[in-house]
Structure 1
Amino acid sequence: MRSPRRRGREAARPGRRPHPTVRAPGGGAHVRRVLVTRPDGRELCAKLRALGWEAVAVPTVAIVPVAPGGDLDRVARRLEAYDWIVVTSAHGAQALAAALARTGAPRPTRPRWAAVGPATARALQAAGVQVAVVPARYLTAAVAEALGPVEGLTVLLPRADAASPELPRLLRARGAQVEEVVAYRTVEGPERSRLPLQRALMDGIDAALFTSPSTARGFWRLAPEPHRALAGVLVAAIGPVTAGALRALGRPPDVVAEEHTGDGLVAALAAAASPPVR
């Protein structure tokens, strides 16, 4: 016999469309199944499961390394030329570390390193880099302020091909000489995630976590009817930039994390929704 929860979902959805149990944020919403869209979602899923939620990982963005022998390797060989190296994601940190390893370039001693947040700082530290600056607010724009005076200084930004232009614009406005290099590429809506996402939506989700504008756009590329798929679902954004992307897509988030990290996102979900009773 089917469980009451499964039967209730199927009776309420034409064509097996999910009918989640979530209610309005702040009103004691009951959330059981949480969709995690980030490409490296294992740690986030583990934290959700530890609190009693059922985490469903479907990356709506794929991370693709750049080919060896390109601009990233060229830059890796001359890191001593920069005053600052500003890294805005753990993927960027790992990509630059890999370029250093395959080119055999010596570890630079001149530049100071800045990380957008604690996860990026940990990735740099794992590569043997001493991080000088992590802004109090984990936003790319906050990095520009955290560096202090940068007029006349050279700043390297190893980033995704789809990174926002805001940070280089802010740094150049303050007089820095900025060089950007693509450290990795993002594929929004990777085809291999299409069927897993459809299955997750068919089974029903109660909340969806978006950790970057790319994860939001990737969801929209993959879901057959994204607005309908998120109807009645608690939508949570890791920060204001991701929230802005969701608004641009026509689905404002219900929750925006105050601390723009995975931990902050879990805390925001916990404040808005009740984990299922074990």
Structure 2
Amino acid sequence: MNPTLLDCCVAFTSPVSYGEFLRSQLESAGAIPLWVPTISIQQSDRLQAKVRQVIAAELHQISGLAFTSRNGIRAVASALSSVDLPPLRTPFYLGALGRDAQLLSSLTEIYPHPHCQVVVPPVATPEALVEALGPGQGRPLLCPVPRVVGLTEPAVIPNFLKAIAHRGWRPLRLDAYETIWCGADCAAALVQGGRVSQPVQKAAAIILTSTAEVEGLLKSLRALQIDPHRWLQGVVVAAHGPVTAQGIRAQGVQVQVVSSDSSSFAGVVQALGQYFQKATQCSAPEA
């Protein structure tokens, strides 16, 4: 246990699809987790049908798949298991970030390919993945990404596709799942009074694991007639990796902690603990 987070109230805004892991990391560090999802990850029937259609009709024409999230891997794995698959090109690339790459086995188990090359960059960022894939030489690369609903599409998505094109690949965007804002009340548990049935301890820190989460947080606080920047005063903002930190700052929010290891949530929890260790104590700000 990391005593620097002992009894610290740490809020986090991750969706249900992977928030459980972050909560367990915080609990192991001695923190009091306050889980306030601001986005949800969903696979609509329409998008699932589209993914199956693309996989069945176009997989034999592409040279690989580049994933920026495990949600995209899951969507493609579901499609692979339900369609007749054509022969793949050689070589065929599978690219993923950090621990997301562990899920690539779900693809290779469904459709083994002797010349499949798994690409995992040493740094878990989209930019590093693009570099690790190497020159594209005009080859098509399928990129499963989210369709964002209720929020602005994070710049990381179009930037990733542009970077792939600049490396000589022909990126093919595939909206494989949906990132959906959880609504006006999603941040209610963070504030005292107002629409909250019972007052809660104000968080000493908040962990944000994606750009969409911070926009969802700010949008909800404003809907609750709470000044986001006033609420954030005295709250330590921790970002899961430099890409998320850049997106948070673009929303006008200051970031005090950035995890250098963005391959898993353990990195941001450790970085937050180190921050409080330097500050000598963890204390919640005045409400």
The bucket for the TM-score relative to the shorter chain is 0.7 to 0.9
Q: Which residue of 1 aligns with 2:102?
A: 122
Q: How does 1:31-110 map to 2 (within 5 A)?
A: 32-39=8-15, 40-68=18-46, 70-77=49-56, 78-101=58-81, 103-106=82-85, 109-110=88-89
Query: 1:25 — aligned with what?
Result: none
Match status 1:140 vs 2:116: no
- Partner amino acid for 1:59? P
Partner of 2:233, secondary structure, is: coil
Task: Give the whole-Å Cα distance in 2 for the aligned partners of 1:228 and 1:131.
Answer: 49
CA deviation map 1:156-203 (0-9, x unaligned): 000112352111111111221110010111123434624334459842
Contact preservation (8 Å) 2:257, 2:275: yes
Q: Distance in 2 between the 1:90 and 1:229 partners?
A: 32
CA contact (8 A) 1:113 1:133 kept: yes
Relative to structure 1, is the Cα distance of residues 131 and 64 closer, same or farther in structure 2, using a 3 angstrom cutoff? Answer: farther
Residue in 1 that maps onto 2:186: 193
Residue of structure 1 aligned with 2:261, choices 259, 265, 273: 259
Q: 2:6, 2:31 → 1: CA distance?
A: 10
Deviation per CA, 1:221-249: give whole Å up to 9, x if none. Answer: 11232212211011001122221222222
| Displacement of 1:31 | 6.5
Paired residues of 2:190 and 2:202 also in contact (CA < 8 A): no
8 A Cα contact 1:87 1:157, kept in partner: yes
C-alpha displacement of 1:149: 1.8
Name structure 2 gaps, 5 residues minimum.
Answer: 110-115, 148-152, 283-287
2:146 equivalent in structure 1 = 160
> How many Å separate the matches in 2 of 1:202 and 1:44?
20
Q: Could you give the per-residue CA deviations for residues 130-168 of structure 1, whole angstroms, max 9, x where no partner exists?
A: 761111111011111001121121100001123521111
Larger mean Cα displacement after TM superposition, 140-149 or 163-172: 163-172
Count of aligned pairs between the two proteins: 247
Provide TM-score, normalisation by structure 1: 0.80
Counterparts in 2 of 1:233-248, with a 5 A limit? 233-248=235-250
Distance 2:166 2:218 in 1: 34
Correspondent of 1:270 among 269, 273, 277: 273
TM-score, length basis structure 2: 0.78
Mark the CA change 1:29 to 1:125 in structure 2 (over 3 Å): closer, same or farther.
closer
Match among 193, 201, 204 for residue 203 of structure 1: 201
1:241-265 CA deviation, whole Å, 9 max, x = no partner? Answer: 2212222222210011111131211
User: Residue 196 and residue 124 in structure 1: after superposition, are their counterparts in 2 closer, same or farther (change >3 A)?
Assistant: farther
Q: CA deviation at 1:90?
A: 0.8
- Note closer, same or farther for the CA distance 1:81–1:207 as it changes in structure 2 (3 Å cut): same
Report the CA distance shift for 1:29/1:112 in structure 2 as closer, same or farther (over 3 A): closer
Provide the rounded CA distance (Å) in 2 between the counterparts of 1:85 and 1:70.
Answer: 18
Matched residue of 1:135: which SS? Answer: coil
The superposition leaves residues 105-134 of structure 1 with CA deviations (integer Å, 9 ceiling, x where unpaired) of 33865432010221x212222444576111
Structure with the bigger RCO (C-alpha within 8 Å, sep 6+) is 1
Contact map agreement 2:134 2:167 (CA 8 A) in 1: no
Over the residues paired in the alignment, what is the CA RMSD in angstroms? 2.5
Partners of 1:50 and 1:107 in 2: how far apart? 46
Any stretches of 5+ residues in structure 1 without a counterpart? Answer: 1-27
Q: Secondary structure at the match of 1:85?
A: strand
In 1, the alpha carbon distance for the partners of 2:163 and 2:179 equals 23
Question: How far off is 1:82 after superposition?
Answer: 1.3
